[in-house]
Structure 1
Amino acid sequence: MPELPEMEHYRAQLAPRIAGAQITGTEVTREKSINLSVQEFQDGLHGRTIWHVERRGKHLVMHLDNGKRLVLHLMLGGSIFFGSEEEKPDRTAQVTIRLTTGNLYFIGLRLGYLHLLSVKEVEAKFRELGPDPFDKRLSLQAFIARFSGKRGVLKPALVDQHVLSGIGNCYSDEIAFAASIRPDARIRELEPSTWERLYQAMHSVLREATARGGYMEEPLTAGDEVTGGYNDHCQIYDRGGEPCVRCGTVIEQFEVSSRKAFVCPACQKSQ
């Protein structure tokens, strides 16, 4: 599932391509992927101009010239492609938006969605979303405070979008590894130095992953060689049975609160 680095990469790559572009047509092959009837959705978008694109957690928000917002959540299996009909992947697009600068294809939206919302509806939707890891107000102390009252273990809290927005299965493991802490470490037993390592690791891991294009390998445009570049640089996620890049110990895969997790039993400690 796309997380902060994937969606921030999409935002940065899409913004110069679609900001200022006018919507000339819309096609919907799966009505469950949108929040209105197909006709209402098409009528609401036709002739509108996309002003700019922002990211909120794992969502992309496209601001339209009439004050409405297109809110995208790709969920599991979703991806975006921008280009011509001839360039697009040989996969069904659940929603296609035709722009004056090219076509925007939303693919694999079986669980994901693209909703046309008012400003009030967007604010209501994101009201309980936790702060972005790069929010300037999220100091170390504010970061630690987000976990206060949590009784469980680290990974479920890191992926809780009410605690922090944008971190999911992959980067919670990558962050824990970078901080040398087990993803199943108990929150209430973490030492101050561990919290500081986690805070620093969160920023460094997410920055590097974003710069490398995230870990999802579906290209965003024809000839795209950046998207998915972090996949070959994951330190621990999805590397069960392989040697640890630090010490050579075999990486273990297990479950934490019904989520798969990966750990180096030598490098990562419980405190």
Structure 2
Amino acid sequence: MSVTLPTSALLGMLADLLHTCDDNPEVATGCILVHTALADDPIDVGRTTVLSGTSTSSTTGLIGHCREVADGTLAPVLLPNDGVSMTIAAFKPLLVEERRNEITTFLRITADAGRILISRVDDPGLFEVDEQQKQVRFPAGNLAKFPRSVWSALAEEHVAGEEDVVGPRRVLPLEAAKAFVSVARRRKGKFETFSPHPSAPTRVQVGLTYQGLIPAPSEEDGVTSTIPTFDVIHPPLPDQELTPVLRPTG
């Protein structure tokens, strides 16, 4: 099974999902799960084949989930983060080649017998891999240990209950802010958040093809404040001089 997509799309997708996975590639949450699916086209009306990617961290609880239009079929497979980093480093020079020559290059992911092969394909219609092309190979992660609760957590709609404090305060951990701001910066999009009340998880969206999740704050964070918890300090300044308003004459 294999899937082909533009180099920039694959490398960008993998880079974004590295922000929300664990550092240890030996555990399932230190991997990125990818597979093909039919989904709404982010640009045109209708359904299309996409490569869907998901990552999560057992330490921060963050989840990242995105998709890119692709060609082919790939059953779910785990890409360990060290293999992902190696792939980005190996093929990043292609992005320079694209800009210099005004071309589009393509990469193919092939999964076979627990091994991952990522290789350059000059034309997405070609199905034979040129052995002279640069390739990256690494073992797949253990798919059986990837947490299945990730997608239901992303899709769940939280409604405020009687005991929930509804107010403007949101607690965003530093790790979450750094991860999703980095994604938004690369995608040149807005970092949008959705949460029905302060004690619920916060859903994140960047553009039309990326979403994520920040877990609900812990009890120590507290969610009852409606304003910042310390006073504003006003400096002892003299009265401000008002700038006269010039009105047109005649």
TM-score, length basis structure 1: 0.23
Greater Rg by CA: 2
Q: Give the TM-score, by structure 2 length.
A: 0.25
Q: Which has the higher strand share?
A: 2
Structure number with the higher helix fraction is 1
